[in-house]
Amino acid sequence: MVSALGLTGVLGGCGAGIGSSDVTLHLVAADYGTSAANSSRKYWDALIDKYEAGHPGVRIEVDVYSWNDVDRKVKEMVDAGDPPDMAQIGAYADYAAEGLLYRADDLLSIPVQADFVSQLAEAGRVNGAQYGMPFASSTRVLFYNKELFAEAGITPPQTWEQLAADAAALKAKGVKYPYALPLGPEEAQAETMQWLLSGKGGYTDSVGSFNIDSSRNVETFTWLKDELVGKGLTGPVPPGKLNRADAFKAFAAGDVGMLNGHPSLMAMAEKNGVEYGMVPTPGKDGRSSATLGVADWMMAFKKHGHREEIGDFLDFVYGEEQVLAFSRDYNLLPVTSSASRTMAEAEQDKHLKPFLEQLVTSELYPVGDRAWAAVNAAVKKQIGKAVAPDGDPQSVLSSLQVTASRAGSGQ
C-alpha cells in the first residue's frame, strides 16, 4: 500500500517522550521516509520533545508505521475497541460515518482551522462538518525528459493531440516508454483521475455524486485505448501491469519520454543525472483546467476523551514552523495557507513552485464519501482492462459505477 500521495514508507517503531504526566495521548502516524535517515520518526520525536517541554502535564506517545501497515493497524485498534487518540493515515470517512471522530471545530482553535487550504479543508468534510484534517498534500504535473525531447525535435505538449504526436516522435527515436501510463494496482486511481480531469470529467459530477461512466469519461478512456495504448506509445509493459513506482524508476533511468509525476520524482531524476522539465497537464483541447490534488489525513478519536489536550497538541502540530518543516523534509506541499505563502516566496522552495501553483485549481479524490474506499480498490483492480487490446472502456467504467452505487447504499 502507499499513501494518497503515492509515497512509500518503510520503517516502524514505538514510543516518544519520557517521564510521568497527567495525560498521555497516543498518536499513530505514517512513515513518509524511505530509510532510517529520513524516517518520519525523527520528525515526530523532535516535534514531541519541543511540545512536551512546554506542556509538562501532557505526554505524547507515537507509533510510526509504514504505509504498508498503518491503515490496517489503526483499523485493528478500532475494531478491538481501543483506537488511538489521533491517527495520521490515508482516509477518515468510514470512521466519521460511524460517529467515532471529533469534529475539527471541537478540537482546533479558530485561527488554526481557518488556516487550512480551502480545497483541502473542504475535502475533509462529511455532511458539511470537517472531520478530516489535512496533514500532507501534493499535486501532479507532466514531467518530460529534456534530452529525449531535444533528440526528437519536439516541445512539451499542451493538448492530447500534441501529446500523442510527441509520443509518436519519441517512439520513432527508440524511446522505451514514450508516455508511461501506470494503471497498475499500486496507484491506478491517481493516473485515472488525472486523465478524467483532463477530459473535463472526473469520478463525481458537479454535485458530488459518482458519475464514473459519464460520456466524457468514456471518451477519455476510449482515446487512451485507441490513440496511445493501441498505437504502441505507452511502452512494453501493459498499462494495467505498470505500477507508478516502476514508471518513476524507468523515468529516472532515462527510459521514459513523459509521464505524470509528483515532487518525489524530482530527486529520483536528479540523482541519476536526468534533465527534466515540468509543465501543466495537457487537456483535451488545451492545458487541463484542473489537476489532481491528493492529501493524507489527521483525525482524532473520541473513545478516550481528552478533547482539550488533543486540540492543544494539534494546534501546535499545525503551526507554520512545523508544517513547513514537514513539507520541506519530504518535498510535499503545505496544508495551511500561511505556510503556503511562505513557501511560495522562499528561494529554498522554488523547486516546489510548479506544484504549489497547481494546488489552487486541484481537485481531490472524493474521500468524504464512504463509497470511495470501495471505488478506489475497484479502480486499482479493473481500470487497466479499459485500455487493454480486448478491453471495453464503457463496460469497465460502468462496472466501477455499479461498485460506487452499491457501496454508497451500504450493499
> How many whole angstroms separate alpha carbon 352 and alpha carbon 345?
11
Supply the pLDDT for residue 6.
Answer: 58
Asked if 237 and 244 count as a contact pair (C-beta separation under 8 A), the reply is no
Q: pLDDT tens digits for the chain (411 residues)?
A: 456 565 544 444 444 444 445 899 999 999 988 778 888 999 999 999 999 999 999 999 999 998 878 888 999 999 999 999 999 998 898 899 899 999 999 999 999 999 999 889 999 998 899 999 999 999 999 999 999 999 999 999 999 999 999 999 999 999 999 999 999 988 899 999 999 999 999 999 988 899 999 999 999 999 999 999 999 999 999 999 999 889 999 999 999 999 999 988 998 899 999 999 999 999 999 998 888 998 999 999 999 999 999 999 999 999 999 999 999 998 899 999 999 999 999 999 998 988 988 887 789 999 888 888 889 889 999 999 999 999 999 999 999 999 999 987 655
Residue 361's alpha-carbon distances to 93, 139, 293, in angstroms, are 23, 10, 9
State the pairing for strand pair 362-364/291-300.
Answer: parallel
Supply the pLDDT for residue 264.
Answer: 85
Contact residues for 305 (Cβ-Cβ < 8 A; gap 6+)? none
Asked if 303 and 101 count as a contact pair (C-beta separation under 8 A), the reply is no
Asked if 34 and 68 count as a contact pair (C-beta separation under 8 A), the reply is no
Placement of cell 516518544 in the chain: 16
Supply the pLDDT for residue 390.
Answer: 95
Helix (H) or strand (E) holding 120: helix 118-123
Supply the pLDDT for residue 410.
Answer: 56
Query: Strand, helix or coil at 209?
Result: coil
> How many whole angstroms separate alpha carbon 13 and alpha carbon 33?
13
State the average pLDDT for the chain: 91
pTM over 0.85: no
Of 295, 267, 287, the C-alpha closest to 116 is 295
Supply the pLDDT for residue 16.
Answer: 41
> How many whole angstroms separate alpha carbon 248 and alpha carbon 145?
12
Supply the pLDDT for residue 37.
Answer: 81
> How many whole angstroms separate alpha carbon 366 and alpha carbon 372?
6
Supply the pLDDT for residue 186.
Answer: 84
Supply the pLDDT for residue 12.
Answer: 43
CA 1 distance to own-chain centroid: 12
Supply the pLDDT for residue 36.
Answer: 80
